[in-house]
Chains A and B, each alone.
Chain A
Amino acid sequence: MSARGELPTWVDVGLIPLINLVLALLISGLVVVIIGENPFQALGIMLHGALGSLKGWSYMFYYATNFIFTGLAVAVAFHAGLFNIGGDGQAYVAGLGAATPGLILGGALAAILPAGISQPITLFVALMGSILFGAFWAFVPGYLQAKRGSHIVITTIMFNFIASSLMVYLINNVFRPITSMAVESKAINDAYILNFREIGRLIGMKLPSSPLNPVVFLAFIAAFIIWYLLWRTKLGYELRAVGANSEAAIYAGIKPSRIIMIAMAISGGLAGLVAFNEILGVQHRLLLDFVGGAGFVGIAVALMGRSHPLGIVLSALLFGLLYQGGTELSFAIQSISRDMIVVIQGLVILFMGALEDAFRPSLTALFFKVEE
């Protein structure tokens, strides 16, 4: 008994995102045409680059790992009615929490404990550090919104820039070995996460080289935990209630200011996991701009995935595909830059986020016409 004018769920979560994606790809294709290349050939190269080899798949999942984290981060905030643009800054600052244990604790523990014990401890501390530092960098804007009325969008933007300056300073002046010219910390050698290629080598399997590492499982686990949090806990219920209707939430005895701070902390913690993946799983050192805009990709991922963890995993994989395919594409066709993905990302955000309802009316009309 769906009321007239309301679309069935499959249209809402399936068809509309699909149409938006197709539209974004069409316009991107148009850009490809404008720069004088064949869009179908380009699409073919992209798909082949990501799906045509195990290496392509590995990279796709590697990119998706970060995007799942940031997509979830944006989604948790969305569910509480907040727009966290600060994922980049939160992940960046979380780099401190990720790197410091490995740099300091790792060596100290390794000296007194066997590697089998010292490494897991160090990694666990680094994991907590990533989450806590990311959470803190989001909690402060949450606090300022909840208690001082500062607008979360503006504050998180400000915090991105503050994070950037702070990290440049710290990496340059604190983490960089005095003798080194490169602006990065010394390598974390005592405790890091082996990537799949290295793990494969240990067990005698030959895997393609890629940065993909077991943190990808953590991403799937995080998606499950967030799903559980949102739909199977009392806190998740309260969080969604505040986002859906804060007046009703107040009626229900829920304090929106408390929920805002909690939601932002969770959101920042998730973004912080990008640092865990990048620093301990990939780079093994703290370096400049290791986040690489993943926080902003998270906005597109969350919008595309309709803020549902399953949708986010799927759309993160899609963006992983685009990133990997786009990289291959830029190798194959020199005139198409990898930044093509950023264009697609922008278009997805525009269509899914800002023009969400642009063709909903006509789609609704069409849908009911067909049904009648």
Chain B
Amino acid sequence: MTPAIELIGIDKRFGAVHANNDVSLSIAKSSIHGIIGENGAGKSTLMSILFGFYAADKGEIKVQGKTVKVNSSTDAIALGIGMVHQHFMLVDPFTVLENVILGAEGGALIGPALAKARAELKRLADEYELDVDPDAIVGELPVGLQQRVEILKALYKGADVLILDEPTGVLTPDEADHLFRILQQLRNQGKTVILITHKLREIMAITDHVSVMRRGEMVATKETAKTSLEELAELMVGRRVLMHVEKGAAHPGEVVLDVKNLVWRDRKGTPRVDGVSFQVRKGEIVGIAGVSGNGQSELLDVITGIAKATSGTVLFEGEDITDLNDPSILRRRGMAHVPEDRQHRGLITSFSAAESAILGWQNDAGLGRSYHLNRNAVIERCRKQMEEFDVRPADPLLKSSKFSGGNQQKLILAREIGSNPDLLIVGQPTRGVDIGAIEFIHKRLIHLRDMGKAILLVSVELDEIRSLSDRILVMFAGRVMGERGPDADERELGLLMAGVVKDAA
């Protein structure tokens, strides 16, 4: 049988990043085909190429055996390809019907299309358990139903192939189960479904085939029935040389950070941090592993006073800081924070390095009396930090945006560690950082630990977590799935990250 979709030798670069490296993939008709991989493995890029959002540098796309050009989403839609984006492409104040017909109105007046869509929606609802009130305002629907609207949109436009990008990220377990039933129905009716996810459970539960991507390459395609969670986890993570970091045994002291039953809900009421509890002690590094988007960022925001906790408590050095919500006070008390997103938070790219190097510490008495900001003191402080952390070029007056990622990160670390904190909270310390800088940063963190400081580390790089942490927590869907030691099995951690708890007993 002709495959529904064939991708042959797809290649795509974004500047220096090789997002897709000679990727080939064949997807059988009437099947559910999963694509898994870590963050940045190239899954979304590949699907964006198929949907006409990006043009591939090289390669060929075949739909139903025929070579096609997909230059825009219009082309993709005409070829019977529909996509449900991770961020929904819905017009919130519109009704479900209006959203469904957008782009497929079939005439200058929308009346007939609305009537047709109403009938069609009723049919689809009966056929696939896709019921949504056609007159509901989309923005007022819960996310699960919004996603259904996205699927309806694609089906209404005649999609035979449906791509779903991380569809369950925003769903409750019940909603996810319902989605899977819908997808199975679709397949049984002859539709082809491509499911992009990092959740192995989902792959095992509903796919027929699964392809694994890693660092822009297609690593393997398997029949789901003939593979196992463990094999997939290994393929996904790969056998990598564990970075070796010299470190002695930890000597944990008293508790510095004590998080109890912390919950944070987003504006829609979805709990993004869902009852998290843990402690960090002096002289230890606690690592939080997990695929990005599983609540780690929100957790850090709440602890550091940027976001307000919905419930639960945070104790810092024995004091309740849950409702303080003031990063500057926390800083003065000894809580330093290297944010996950250095470009958008860690520094101000339009400021000079010296100015970025006092971000958060701008009211330090050492930088000038009362209201005055002593420029020489600012530059001098930056110069010292640059020297100590080997930031290059060592020019405090250079714009922050002109430093490489590694040097920007060192600048931030120097700022935060330089304040001699009791607790260092550090997110993604080496994301987009060159090898040399990684090594340097890791050494500094260990050094800080050995000085008896408490460190909370969040990273999506499992290697990093494993080589630095004294204890490892794994977060998945806002919850801590379990705690492991630094010598925990990589595969086991991979399973936890994908939401699979082996020792449920």
Direct contact of A and B (CB under 8 A): yes
- From 293 to 307 in chain B, residues with beta carbon under 8 angstroms from any chain A beta carbon are 304-306
B331 with A248: CB separation less than 8 A: no
A253→B375 CA distance, assembly (Å)? 21
Between-chain CB contacts (< 8 Å), 10 pairs: A3-B402, A6-B402, A232-B372, A232-B375, A233-B372, A237-B373, A245-B345, A248-B359, A252-B360, A253-B360
Chain A contact-residue range equals: 20 to 34
DSSP class of B's interface residues: helix, strand, loop or mixed? Answer: loop
A241 with B359: CB separation less than 8 A: yes
A248 and B363 in contact, given A232-B373, A234-B368, A253-B327 (Cβ under 8 angstroms) = no
A248→B351 CA distance, assembly (Å)? 12
In the complex, which of the residues B305, B347, B371, B401 contacts A234, with contact meaning CB atoms closer than 8 Å?
B371
Minimum CB–CB distance for A35 against chain B, Å: 43
B344 with A247: CB separation less than 8 A: yes
A20→B337 CA distance, assembly (Å)? 43
Q: Contacts A231-B373, A235-B371, A252-B360 given; 14 further ones with Cβ under 8 A?
A: A1-B393, A1-B402, A231-B375, A232-B375, A234-B363, A244-B348, A245-B350, A247-B344, A248-B346, A248-B359, A250-B327, A251-B345, A253-B327, A253-B360
- From 232 to 291 in chain A, residues with beta carbon under 8 angstroms from any chain B beta carbon are 232-238, 240-241, 244-245, 247-248, 250-254
A234 and B362 in contact, given A252-B327, A253-B326 (Cβ under 8 angstroms) = yes
Which B residues lie at the A interface, using CB under 8 A? 304-306, 326-331, 337, 339, 344-351, 355, 358-360, 362-363, 367-368, 371-373, 375, 393, 401-402
Please tell me if A180 contacts chain B, counting CB pairs below 8 Å.
no
B326 with A244: CB separation less than 8 A: no
Minimum CB–CB distance for B125 against chain A, Å: 38
A248 with B372: CB separation less than 8 A: no
Nearest chain-B residue to A232 (Cβ)?
B373
Chain A residues within an 8 Å CB radius of B402: 1-3, 6
Nearest chain-B residue to A237 (Cβ)?
B362
A296→B11 CA distance, assembly (Å)? 52
A234 and B372 in contact, given A1-B402, A248-B344 (Cβ under 8 angstroms) = yes
Minimum CB–CB distance for A271 against chain B, Å: 23
DSSP class of A's interface residues: helix, strand, loop or mixed? Answer: helix
Chain B residues within an 8 Å CB radius of A234: 362-363, 367-368, 371-373
Chain A residues within an 8 Å CB radius of B345: 245, 247-248, 251
Chain B residues within an 8 Å CB radius of A252: 327-328, 359-360, 362
A2→B355 CA distance, assembly (Å)? 18
B367 with A244: CB separation less than 8 A: no
A210→B329 CA distance, assembly (Å)? 55
A236 and B373 in contact, given A2-B402, A250-B306, A253-B328 (Cβ under 8 angstroms) = yes
Chain A residues within an 8 Å CB radius of B330: 253
A251 with B337: CB separation less than 8 A: yes
In the complex, which of the residues A232, A236, A241, A251 contacts B339, with contact meaning CB atoms closer than 8 Å?
A251
Minimum CB–CB distance for B399 against chain A, Å: 9
Chain A residues within an 8 Å CB radius of B355: 237
Which A-B residue pairs are the 8 nearest by beta carbons? A253-B328, A253-B327, A252-B360, A251-B345, A252-B359, A244-B348, A245-B348, A237-B362
